[in-house]
Amino acid sequence: MDWYENWIQSIRDFNARNEQQQADKTMIIAEATSRVDFFDRFANPRHATASAMVVGPRGIILHKHKKFNAWIQPGGHIDPGESPWDSALREGREETGLQLVHPNATPLLFHISCHPAGEHFHLDSQYLVLGGKEDPSPPEGESQEISWFDLERAREVADKSMKDPLDTLEGIDLSEFGL
């Protein structure tokens, strides 16, 4: 895991904006530094995931998660040997059908979140990723309820778990990425 030290440092460097983010940061660091199976989704119900906050000229992409019936960002489990930022891109591409890239070709840890997910508990690294102007076109098997939203509409439809990430997004100057 050559990427592990970079990832854990990015979590340590993450600027928590509130008490919940600080608690999530503390939990992720504690779990990641005390368990060798932290990235193995089958070893422990509490494990790492990664997600993509997809932004573009048309707004933000959310999809209606099939299992949880909630409008959230694309994301999911990290494959063996995969970095969280590579997982965020892969999951984002799989769930949107779009070509996504990291801003300036550099992963940007955007948000962190620790939350229950059915029988599991996800410790999620969320990355800001850029999408183009195209309509999402997820393949069969992925949620077909997916769309671009402006920030106001995203706040209206998104699951309550998205409040903090959307607040964080509002505080980012997207013009530096050409948006």
CA distances from 107 to 11, 40, 104, 110, 173 (A): 12, 22, 8, 9, 16
Has residue 1 got a pLDDT over 80?
A: no
List the one residue out of 69, 61, 64, 57 whose CA is nearest residue 153: 61
Amino acid sitting at position 93: R
- The model's confidence at residue 170, banded by pLDDT at 50, 70 and 90, is confident
pLDDT for 20-77, tens place per residue?
999 999 999 999 999 999 999 999 999 999 999 999 999 999 999 988 899 999 999 9
Ramachandran angles phi, psi of 97, nearest 5°: 75, 10
Q: Provide the strand spans (E) within 7-108.
A: 46-56, 59-65, 70-72, 75-77
Number of neighbours of residue 128 by Cβ within 10 angstroms: 22
Give Rg (Cα) of the chain.
Answer: 15
Beta bridge partners of 77: 49
Quote the CA–CA distance of 128 and 65 in Å, as a whole number: 19
CA distances from 67 to 43, 112, 166 (A): 21, 21, 22
Architecture per CATH, domain 4-177, reads as Alpha-Beta Complex (3.90)
Domains of the chain: which residue ranges?
A: 4-177
- Note the residue count of the chain: 179
Note the pLDDT of residue 118: 84
pTM over 0.85: yes
How confident is the prediction for the chain on average, in pLDDT?
94
Residue 96 DSSP class: H
